[in-house]
């Protein structure tokens, strides 16, 4: 039981003293996951919108596909990405392995299906009359899309949060393609994995609390974005 | 639209801050978990980084994987401990200019009560035989690390099968295996460095039951990746790192490391006499 009380004190101390290393690790976690989520949203929201509102052959299998991809194991994504960006792989010459960008790509692959799948249901739930009204008032395709999307904005932001939640807590892929390099690709989850192997359970737990706090603060931020438009 | 502007702003901040982290030269070193987890590299590398204005990225994995990363050209240099794997690595043309850096030794640890009678063993192989006969719980690294390779070598000489319900393959690093041995009151083969680090911080209470057999000698070597095979690696900096680690100053850092915290050095340097 000492672990837990030690960990809470430890976490508080690390946060209050702004331990430089822990601060850097936390910031990198946020940066990597935020970048991946931004890219995943830029790709995932339009795809989700097109599938959700469109009417075309193969729509159902496509939805099933994205629902399945939501459960893609992180280590498998890591392994596939690794085989592509290793020097022996087809993209080896880019020198991406063991850089923060490798982790961004991995997390992008993990977040996109979630954002697509949740956007499909979000846009499907919008009353079709919204689209028709926009069209009848002379909106072009893009304006119509923006109208529908803004109608679905709550579900849309939830989708982005879900995508972010998946990647900031992810460890398998980041460990494999990031390499857990101190001060360069070490993020909260890989640091927790490392400290646990060193037997530093209280410190690991402290990092875990920081991860939880970060996820909580990000959610509060998004919630604030949601209500601000009320 | 305000929201969109805000998101764009976040996006730009994120991307710009990333491009900054790419400045400067980086040298990639794959190594075993023991050199990184013990903290040795945190003492040994910063003076080198300052001297040559290069950042060393340490990728801590088992020896097997460390050599594999070097073989693929994903790192510039590697610091490992499994002599015959290293020799094969060089023979096959993946690495050049291997140098001996330091050594420590392996120890067989286990529960104080020692149900298999390992304390009475004459050799490491004898100790393993006793464990197998009494079916004492034994935790194996099972991860193709230097320690695991050494363990397999010893099992081969006993003529006993390393399998059965008493033999647990963890597939994990040294630290995790030490914790498992402690929790399960089991035997295991450990490198002295990691063992001392865990004992010193009171994470485990298992005593050393057997030590001193020459077969338990654990030498570490540093090898540059062959630039003829992987032209993109930073061969010059890799050689500079070999130079630093085997220099009088580098060896002195190794010699002093751990004395204050664990009462004895974790590694003994061998590249120069009396560093």
Q: What is the pLDDT of residues B157-197, one digit of tens each?
A: 998 888 889 999 998 888 899 999 999 999 999 999 889 88
How are beta strands B95-109 and B268-269 bridged, if at all? antiparallel
Predicted local distance difference test score (pLDDT) of residue B9: 66
Mean pLDDT of B116-131: 95
Q: Among residues 219-258 of chain B, which lie with CB inside 8 Å of chain A?
A: 230, 232
Predicted local distance difference test score (pLDDT) of residue B275: 80
From the list A38, A88, A181, which residue is nearest B59 (CB)?
A181
Q: What is the pLDDT of residues A171-230, one digit of tens each?
A: 999 999 999 988 889 999 999 998 888 888 888 888 999 999 988 998 888 888 777 655
Q: Which of A19-23, B59-63, B86-90 has the highest mean pLDDT?
A: B86-90
How are beta strands B95-109 and B187-191 bridged, if at all? antiparallel
Q: How far apart are CA A162 and CA A40, in angstroms?
A: 12
HEC readout, B205-239: CCCEEECCCHHHEEEEEEEEECCCCCCCCCHHHHH
In the predicted structure, residue B22 carries a pLDDT above the cut 80? no
Which tokens go with B267? 């590694």
Exposure of A140 by Cβ count < 10 A (0-12 exposed, 13-18 middle, 19+ buried)? Answer: exposed
Local confidence band at B202 (pLDDT 50, 70, 90 cut-offs): confident
Q: CB pairs below 8 Å between A and B: how many? A: 67
Q: Are B271 and B245 in contact (CB under 8 A)?
A: yes
Q: Give strand pairing partners of B58.
A: B29
- Where does chain A show beta strands of DSSP type E? none
First to last CA, chain B: 66
Chain A residues whose CB is inside 8 A of the B17 CB are 31
Predicted local distance difference test score (pLDDT) of residue A119: 93
Q: Residue A13 is inside which H or E element, if any?
A: helix A2-16
Q: What is the pTM of this model?
A: 0.85
In the predicted structure, residue B56 carries a pLDDT above the cut 90? yes
Please give the full DSSP string across A146-194, using - where no structure is assigned. Answer: HHHHHHTHHHHHHHHHHHHHHHHT--HHHHHHHTT-TTTT--HHHHHHH
Which tokens go with A118? 């949740």
From the list B14, B74, B178, which residue is nearest A31 (CB)?
B14
Could you tell me if B198 lies within 8 Å of chain A, comparing CB atoms?
Answer: yes
Local confidence band at B248 (pLDDT 50, 70, 90 cut-offs): very high
Helices B146-158 and B63-71, axial angle in degrees (round to 10)? 120
Instruction: Write down the ipTM of this complex.
Output: 0.79
The alpha carbon of residue B274 is apart from the nearest alpha carbon of chain A, in Å, by 32
Predicted local distance difference test score (pLDDT) of residue B14: 65
Residue B80, SS3?
A: strand
Angle at B223 between CA B51 and CA B34, to 5 degrees: 85
Task: Report which of residues A59 and A139 the model is more confident about.
Answer: A59
Q: What is the pLDDT of residues A35-79, one digit of tens each?
A: 999 999 999 999 999 999 888 899 999 999 999 999 999 999 999
Closest chain B residue by Cα to residue A94: B232
Give which of A33, A41, A87 to mutate to test B binding, by max B Cβ within 10 Å.
A87
Q: Among residues 129-148 of chain B, which lie with CB inside 8 Å of chain A?
A: none
Predicted local distance difference test score (pLDDT) of residue A222: 80
Residue B138, SS3?
A: strand
Closest chain B residue by Cα to residue A194: B37
Chain A residues whose CB is inside 8 A of the B232 CB are 87, 93, 95
């Amino acid at each position: 039981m000492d672990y837990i009380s030690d960990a809470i004190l430890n976490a508080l101390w690390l946060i209050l003293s702004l331990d430089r290393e822990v601060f850097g690790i936390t910031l990198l976690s946020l940066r990597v996951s935020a970048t991946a989520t931004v890219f995943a949203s830029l790709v995932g929201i339009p795809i989700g919108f097109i599938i959700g509102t469109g009417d075309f052959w193969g729509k159902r299998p496509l939805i099933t596909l994205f629902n399945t991809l939501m459960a893609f194991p992180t280590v498998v994504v890591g392994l596939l990405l690794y085989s592509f960006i290793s020097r022996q792989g087809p993209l080896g010459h880019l020198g991406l392995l063991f850089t923060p960008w490798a982790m961004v790509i991995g997390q992008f692959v993990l977040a996109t299906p979630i954002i697509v799948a949740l956007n499909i249901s979000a846009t499907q739930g919008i009353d079709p009359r919204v689209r028709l009204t926009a069209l009848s008032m002379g909106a072009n395709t893009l304006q119509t899309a923006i109208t529908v999307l803004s109608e679905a904005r709550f579900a849309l932001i939830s989708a982005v949060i879900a995508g972010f939640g998946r990647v900031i807590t992810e460890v398998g892929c980041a460990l494999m393609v990031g390499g857990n390099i101190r001060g360069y690709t070490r993020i909260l989850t890989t640091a927790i994995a490392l400290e646990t192997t060193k037997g530093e359970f209280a410190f690991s737990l402290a990092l875990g609390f920081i991860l939880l706090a970060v996820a909580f603060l990000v959610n509060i931020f998004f919630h604030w974005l949601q209500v601000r438009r009320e | 639209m305000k929201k969109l502007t805000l998101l764009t702003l976040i996006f730009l901040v994120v991307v710009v801050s990333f491009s900054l982290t790419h400045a400067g030269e980086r040298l990639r070193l794959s190594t075993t978990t023991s050199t990184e987890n013990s903290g040795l590299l945190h003492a040994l590398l910063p003076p080198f980084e300052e001297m040559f204005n290069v950042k060393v990225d340490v990728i801590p994995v088992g020896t097997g994987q460390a050599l594999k990363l070097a073989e693929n050209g994903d790192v510039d240099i590697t610091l490992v401990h499994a002599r015959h794997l290293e020799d094969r690595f060089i023979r096959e043309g993946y690495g050049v200019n291997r140098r001996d850096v330091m050594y420590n030794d392996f120890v067989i640890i286990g529960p104080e009560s020692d149900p298999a009678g390992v304390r009475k063993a004459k050799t490491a192989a004898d100790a393993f035989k006793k464990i197998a006969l009494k079916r004492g719980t034994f935790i194996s690294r099972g991860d193709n690390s230097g320690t695991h390779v050494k363990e397999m070598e010893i099992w081969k000489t006993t003529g006993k099968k390393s399998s059965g319900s008493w033999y647990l393959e963890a597939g994990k690093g040294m630290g995790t295996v030490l914790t498992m041995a402690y929790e399960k009151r089991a035997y295991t083969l450990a490198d002295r460095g990691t063992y001392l680090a865990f004992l010193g911080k009171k994470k485990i209470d298992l005593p050393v039951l057997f030590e001193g057999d020459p077969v338990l000698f654990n030498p570490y070597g540093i090898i540059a990746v062959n630039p003829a095979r992987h032209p993109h690696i930073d061969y010059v900096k890799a050689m500079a790192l070999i130079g630093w680690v085997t220099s009088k100053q580098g060896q002195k850092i190794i010699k002093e490391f751990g004395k204050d915290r664990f009462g004895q050095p974790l590694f003994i340097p061998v590249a120069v006499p009396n560093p």
